[in-house]
């Protein structure tokens, strides 16, 4: 009997020790340990309730758990405790009010327990203050959202590439630049698919530097982007070594500089034209004075005795005078001899004038005039005739195997007249087409580039425009738009 009592006492002591341990855990734990009824009322609360909520444990007894919950989280908490009736374990995060009136975030883990078979189950809750963690998460989320909005709405293309050059992210601006419908058309593919082959070497050089880490650089470099619709864009690109979702990657920033490049080219072209105009005016002035004297004395030498050689000299002097007059067009700021011009009659006369030359080249010239009575403008007849002759001659020369030239004229929108000269020639490559009209640039072997430049100048003096469209082995369309009335405002 004594032995049994001794064994029982040892077990009882062991139970008391465990109870002391549990009591110490509950007394000194920084987490709030509470026991709730199925209705959500406090049956027990640990001393941590004062630190977390500002209430002594005894103040919480018989108070409802719901009374402290934030209104926006109340329904979520009700559903949580209802589900606990069918589960043994669950976790929830919610906001609860402290005595001072402010709210903190709690993370509660609940266990369903039964003290005995007759009583209903109760919920043992261990609640931890996670306010700092929640605020940090919200701050990170807010920062990520700001960065996402900044990236998505940036005027520059922003993307992320693997170190091998495969795209794993691109923003909305990138879709527009690359001319794609969805991001799936570029994600997972090499960005070199959208870079002109001539620029592959440049791109690979910069991405390799960052990949190898020997000479990492964020230097800006230029290259040409080619879209699926074959439209080209001039861009500036920068590659920056970075981490993306734990991977070593390269952030790609692309700026479209196509318009800027075009503006720079226009400024350079305008500067060239200005220099050429000044040069042409100086040359024409210096040539015209001695030319007048030479022509006068040559005519005296001819006298009454006609000389074939003198006639040749006079004819060539006339041609020099014509060239000098053309040069002066580049320097002349405005139209001088404004007159009423019948474009229908003028175009037909040009076709008649060049018909013999066209026949020699096996070329047929056809004129198609729509509503001829309405095709009247104010301008310089001789200068406009010079433009049409120059363009038709170019069309004839562009058809070494013969063909057909169609000269169309019709009224256009906004009080303008459209003249189109269409040939079936060899066409002009896209790269050369962009440079047509620049000083000293010509597609002809012995051309000077001044012919089309002079045509452009004459048309601009008439407040018109000259546009050229061409396809290789199909032909070229030159369209000239001229306003009907120049009298109200001269250039």
SS3 447: coil
- Six token digits for residue 23: 């009591």
Q: Is the pLDDT of residue 446 over 70?
A: no
Residue 72: phi and psi, rounded to 5, are -75, -20
CA distances from 58 to 6, 34, 63, 67, 98 (A): 38, 12, 10, 16, 16
CATH for 263-331, among 2.30.30.40, 4.10.520.10, 1.10.287.130, 3.30.830.10? 1.10.287.130
Rg (CA), the chain: 44
Question: Which of residues 343 and 438 earns the better pLDDT score?
Answer: 343
Return the pLDDT at 297: 75
Nearest to 379 by CA among 416, 330, 331: 416
Return the pLDDT at 199: 93
Task: Round to whole Å and give the CA distance between 476 and 395.
Answer: 8
Task: Round to whole Å and give the CA distance between 169 and 187.
Answer: 6
Return the pLDDT at 490: 42
- Six token digits for residue 276: 């050429």
Count of positions (residues) in the chain = 491
Question: Which of residues 244 and 273 earns the better pLDDT score?
Answer: 244
Superfamily of segment(s) 31-130: PAS domain (3.30.450.20)
Q: Is the pLDDT of residue 27 over 90?
A: no
pLDDT, tens digit, for every residue of 151-192? Answer: 888 889 999 999 999 999 999 899 999 999 888 899 999 999
Task: Label residue 6 by pLDDT band (50, 70, 90).
Answer: low
- Six token digits for residue 19: 């109870």
Question: Where are the domains positioned within the chain?
Answer: 1-25, 31-130, 154-256, 263-331, 339-483
SS3 47: coil
> Quick one: average pLDDT of 140-153?
80
Q: Of the given ranges (140-149, 155-164, 368-377, 436-445), which has the lowest mean pLDDT?
A: 436-445
Q: Of the given ranges (114-128, 238-252, 378-392), which has the lowest mean pLDDT?
A: 114-128
Q: Which fold has domain 154-256?
A: Beta-Lactamase (3.30.450)
Task: Label residue 139 by pLDDT band (50, 70, 90).
Answer: confident
Nearest to 421 by CA among 403, 398, 395, 441: 395
- Six token digits for residue 449: 């580039």
- CATH 3.40.1190.10 holds for 339-483: no
> Quick one: average pLDDT of 40-58?
90
Q: Does the pTM of the predicted model rise above 0.75?
A: no
CA distances from 373 to 342, 367, 394, 412 (A): 8, 15, 28, 14
Nearest to 54 by CA among 32, 74, 72: 32
Task: Label residue 1 by pLDDT band (50, 70, 90).
Answer: very low
Return the pLDDT at 491: 39
> Quick one: average pLDDT of 385-396?
90
Fold match flag (31-130 vs 154-256): yes
Longest dimension (CA), the chain: 169
């Amino acid at each position: 009997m004594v032995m049994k009592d001794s064994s029982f006492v040892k077990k009882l002591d062991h139970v008391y020790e465990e109870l002391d341990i549990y009591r110490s855990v509950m007394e000194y734990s920084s987490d709030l340990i509470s026991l709730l009824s199925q209705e959500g009322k406090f049956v027990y609360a640990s001393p941590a309730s004062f630190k977390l909520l500002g209430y002594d444990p005894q103040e919480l007894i018989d108070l409802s758990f719901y009374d402290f919950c934030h209104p926006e989280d109340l329904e979520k908490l009700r559903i949580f405790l209802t589900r606990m009736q069918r589960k043994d374990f669950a976790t929830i995060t919610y906001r609860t009010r402290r005595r001072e009136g402010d709210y903190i975030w709690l993370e509660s883990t609940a266990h369903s327990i039964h003290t005995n078979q007759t009583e209903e189950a109760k919920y043992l809750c261990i609640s931890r203050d996670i306010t700092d963690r929640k605020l940090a998460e919200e701050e990170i989320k807010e920062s990520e959202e700001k960065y996402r909005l900044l990236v998505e709405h940036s005027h520059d293309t922003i993307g992320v590439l693997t170190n091998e050059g495969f795209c794993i992210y691109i923003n909305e601006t990138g879709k527009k630049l690359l001319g794609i419908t969805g991001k799936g058309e570029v994600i997972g593919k090499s960005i070199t698919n959208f870079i002109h082959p001539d620029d592959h070497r440049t791109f690979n050089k910069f991405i390799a530097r960052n990949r190898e880490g020997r000479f990492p650089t964020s230097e800006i470099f230029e290259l040409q982007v080619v879209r699926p619709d074959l439209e080209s864009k001039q861009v500036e690109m920068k590659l920056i070594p970075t981490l993306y979702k734990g991977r070593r990657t390269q952030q790609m920033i692309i700026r479209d500089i196509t318009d800027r490049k075009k503006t720079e080219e226009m400024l350079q072209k305008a500067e060239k034209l200005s220099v050429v105009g000044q040069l042409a005016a100086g040359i024409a002035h210096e040539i015209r004075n001695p030319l007048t004297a030479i022509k006068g004395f040559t005519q005296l030498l001819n006298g009454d005795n006609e000389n074939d050689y003198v006639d040749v000299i006079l004819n060539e002097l006339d041609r020099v005078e014509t060239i000098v007059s053309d040069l002066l067009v580049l320097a002349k700021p405005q139209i001088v001899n404004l007159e009423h011009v019948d474009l229908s009659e003028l175009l037909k006369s040009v076709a008649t004038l060049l018909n013999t030359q066209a026949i020699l080249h096996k070329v047929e010239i056809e004129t198609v005039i729509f509503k001829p009575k309405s095709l009247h403008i104010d301008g310089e007849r001789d200068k406009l005739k010079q433009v049409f002759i120059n363009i038709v001659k170019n069309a004839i020369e562009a058809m070494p195997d013969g063909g057909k030239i169609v000269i169309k004229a019709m009224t256009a929108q906004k009080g303008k007249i459209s003249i189109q000269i269409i040939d079936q020639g060899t066409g002009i490559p896209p790269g050369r087409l962009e440079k047509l009209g620049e000083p000293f640039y010509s597609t002809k072997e012995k051309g000077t580039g001044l012919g089309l430049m002079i045509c452009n100048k004459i048309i601009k003096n008439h407040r018109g425009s000259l546009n050229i469209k061409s396809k290789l082995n199909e032909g070229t369309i030159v369209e000239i738009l001229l306003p009907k009335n120049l009298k109200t405002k001269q250039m």
